[in-house]
Chains A and B, each alone.
Chain A
Amino acid sequence: MKTVAEMKYPGRLIAVEGLDGSGKSTQIYLLKRWLELQNLKVFFSEWNSSELVKSATSRAKRNMLLTPTTFSLIHATDFADRYERQLVPLLRAGYIVLCDRYIFTAFARDTARNCPPDWVRGLYSFAVLPDITFYFRADLDVSLNRILSGRPELKYYEAGMDLKLSNNPYESFKIFQGRLLEIYDRLAEEYNFFKIDGNLSIEAQQNEVRRIVNSKVDLSRYKLTM
């Protein structure tokens, strides 16, 4: 697998990964604002957001119809749809594309659901690697507290209830997130993620994010011409 730069596409791909509650969405939003305000060609894409596939995914999740295999495949379908119709055209057109979660989310979640890791990686082998992947890593308790402090309604798959780890959704969520964190830590080594300490203040994290983007991407090349 190659990065966007290695593919010689003019665009650049920046992804954020991490547990729910790690603060990654806040950080990528601030990054997006910073780039937009410099009048750069930026595009933002979220995991699991293809219009076409979404209705199938929500129905299947609502009715708890998914096994680990179909959970994996339906998310791969969603990703492929965004990848083929949005991400690749944008990267070829010279955009900086920001992804809130990328293929590593699938690697982590599907592997945590006991899908064979090689199989999952094979599914996504068509995808180009990000030029920068930020990994927001907060202590497990910090992430859990951010999500659970409001006693939210945890969704079945989000809590990993399909894995029968516990009958209590909160307990199940904690065990599942713990598993994901272990897998993410391993992926971080393998794919050279830029690790950002999620225990730091929002400003300190954003400072680090902007510094890395600035040093890795020649931003002057991405000015909007309009």
Chain B
Amino acid sequence: MNDLNKRIKAEKPIVRIKPSTHCRVKQPVRTPKRFYGHGIAGVDLESLTGKLIVVEGADGSGRSTQISRLVEWLEGSGHATLQVGLRHSTLVSEELARAKQGNTLGRLTMSLFYATDFADQLENSIIPSLKAGFMVLADRYIYTLMARDMVRGIDENWLRNLYGIALVPDVVFYLNVSTRQLVERNFAKHQTLDYWESGMDLGLSRDWFDSFTKYQTLLAEQFSKLQKIYNFIVVDGDRQIDEINSELRHRIELVLSGKC
């Protein structure tokens, strides 16, 4: 992985975006899949022919913008895609939303609620789509859930066991954006800071801005710990949208050609 990172750096991605309207559609090269831990009984890993591409990053790091561009590009190149995100499943999302409104959940309960939601999506969207040969683009994955929990003092080993059910993605990008930029983007998007994204439940500060800054710093620390364990590719998210996207495409091309 590290060698590969070096090689990619040396190659320097091209910043120009090519429209992919080639007539010939390339077949992605198959690479073996595995689970992080015990996995899910009854899943035939051999049958998962699609690719799982994960984009991680804080709220306002530009994940959804990048993903929608990637979808366009992948579909233009002839690949079927599926987008998944956290809290999109129908199993517990209603209760989760209700609980967040009232902020009545303990940290373990919250953690398990999210894990249930994740498992539901994994089994009912991600795995079936990978089996059907889709490119699955995940707007966040287990790492966000783990980082949030770790900031709240939940044991890392407990989390690693819990998320042993997860499939190892073919590639994970982490959009790294400075806290200052995050604040600006959050204000541009919502005109206000979000209670949870500011970690107000942690009591870091009564002041929302202080709390947001502290919370995002704590999250970034946990992410960098996770980055070492799970080997994700850190992408400088402070750059222009196109520039970031072309780096992502370049790396996804390597994934599609089985080199990554």
Contact = CB atoms under 8 A, between A and B. Distances in A.
Interface of A: 52-53, 55-56, 60, 65-70, 73-74, 76-77, 80-81, 83-85, 114-116, 118-119, 122-123, 125-126
Contacts of A83: 106, 108
A70 B106 contact: no
Contacts of A125: 158, 161
B95 A73 contact: no
Question: How many of chain B's residues touch chain A, expressed as a range?
Answer: 20 to 34
B37 A73 contact: no
Interface string B15-50: 000000000000000000000011011100000000
- Give the residue among B41, B92, B116 with the most A Cβ atoms within 10 A: B116
Contacts of B106: 80-81, 83-85
Nearest to B94: A56
A70 B158 contact: no
A56 B158 CA distance: 24
A82 to B, nearest CB: 9
A74 B92 contact: yes
A113 B95 CA distance: 25
B115 to A, nearest CB: 5
6 contacts: A69-B40, A70-B91, A80-B109, A83-B108, A116-B38, A126-B108
A70 B41 contact: no
Contacts of A84: 106-109
Contacts of A74: 91-92, 116
A68 B40 CA distance: 9
B119 A73 contact: yes
A69 B95 contact: no
B113 A77 contact: yes
Contacts of B92: 53, 56, 60, 74, 77
Main secondary structure of the interface of A (DSSP, over half): helix
Interface in B127-180: 155, 158, 161-162, 164-165
Nearest to B108: A80
B154 to A, nearest CB: 9
A118 B38 contact: yes
B241 interface: no
B221 interface: no
Contact of B104 (A52, A56, A80, A114): A52
B112 A77 contact: yes
Q: Which 3 A-B pairs have the closest CB atoms?
A: A84-B106, A122-B161, A116-B38
Contacts of B113: 53, 77
A52 B105 contact: yes
A123 B162 CA distance: 6
B62 to A, nearest CB: 31
Contact of B161 (A81, A85, A119): A119
B140 to A, nearest CB: 18
Nearest to B39: A116
B119 to A, nearest CB: 5
B99 interface: yes
B165 A119 contact: yes
